[in-house]
Amino acid sequence: MSTIASSDIAVALDPTRIPAHVAIIMDGNRRWARARGLPSIEGHRRGIGALRRITRIAGDVGVKALTVYGFSTENWRRDAREVSLLLDLCVYFARSELAELRRNNVRVRVIGAWEELPAISRKALAELQERTADRTGLLLSLAVNYSARAELERAVRGIAAEVQAGELAADAVDDACIAAHLYTCDLPDPDILIRPGGEHRLSNFLLYQVAYTELVMTDVYWPDFAKEHFIQALIDFQTRQRRFGGT
């Protein structure tokens, strides 16, 4: 994906075709740090800055919902010290970004099994959601302790319980029913999924929701992901003809 010059952004982006829902896999933090001889956590810290600027520009251009992959269930397999630092960073983000998010009219929602996190992390994330609940602009969904397969398991168990209780007929289980039991039940499926960092896989993120999502992959590491890269991804999206499985 090539990058346009800042001076060309306003002209190149069609404001009438802005995607309603953008998903991002925030990848490349550790490799960014490693390339600079820095500890991994420094890459994650710089990643917060990238999230701040992309959240701001997403709201500015008219994106309605931004869903980002922050901490996966697989991240627990990493070194214990790094996991501890990531959880500390989660608390730091929730506290340090609150004023900025409120100022920019951003409402925050956390998806995933975040209630299973340590108490201090749960408290910080709960407060972040509570104190932005009155914002009416961009919805920022943070996927924390998230797994798409676990999300689907949760949805299936919920549906099975309703069928067993006689609240739902088995033959009424369809695509809309499944979607209604997902964390993103009140959102349209992502129009575009952006993955910085050079990898070309979904990594267990929103597997059900991205069936017809346009994918944009870039080699730029997440800490370096700038306004120009985000706008270029949207321009790339706008050049595509979406068929949703049709001819």
* 27 catalytically annotated: yes
pLDDT at 8 over 70: no
| Residue 69 in domain | yes
Q: Which residues, 6 or more positions from 204, have their beta carbon under 8 angstroms from its beta carbon?
A: 72, 73, 74, 147, 148, 149
* Nearby residues of 229 by Cβ (< 8 Å), 6 or more positions away: 1, 3, 196, 218, 220
User: Domain for residue 61, yes or no?
Assistant: yes
CATH number for the domain spanning 222: value is 3.40.1180.10
Find the angle CA(208)-CA(214)-CA(217) to the nearest 5 degrees: 105
Q: Is residue 105 part of a domain?
A: yes
What are the pLDDT digits (tens) for 137-148?
A: 999 999 999 999
**Cβ-contact 152, 187 below 8 angstroms:** no
In a domain, 125, yes or no: yes
pLDDT tens across 218-237, in order? 999 999 999 999 999 999 99
Q: What is the mean pLDDT of the chain?
A: 92
Question: What pLDDT does residue 198 have?
Answer: 95
Task: Find the domain containing 119 and state its range.
Answer: 19-147+189-238
Question: Among 88-97, 102-111, 201-210, which stretch is predicted with the lowest mean pLDDT?
Answer: 88-97
**Is position 104 annotated as part of the catalytic site?**
no
Of 27, 104, 145, 189, the active-site residue reads 27
Binned at pLDDT 50, 70 and 90, residue 3 comes out as very low
Predicted pLDDT at 80? 84
**Phi–psi pair at 41, nearest 5 degrees:** -65, -25
User: Of 60, 75, 171, 174, which one is the catalytic site residue?
Assistant: 75
Query: What is the layout of strands, in order, in the sheet containing 65-72?
Result: 107-111, 139-146, 65-72, 21-25, 192-195, 214-217
Query: For 199, what's the count of Cα atoms within 13 Å in the CB-facing half-sphere?
Result: 15
Q: How confident is the model at residue 11 (pLDDT cuts 50, 70, 90)?
A: low
Asked if residue 68 is part of any domain, the answer here is yes
Asked if pLDDT for residue 194 goes beyond 50, the answer is: yes
Residue 84, pLDDT above cutoff 90: no
Is position 165 within any domain?
no
> Looking at the 3D structure of the chain, how many domains does it have?
1
Is 2 contained in some domain? no
- E strand spans, 155-223: 192-195, 214-217
Residue 66 lies in a domain: yes
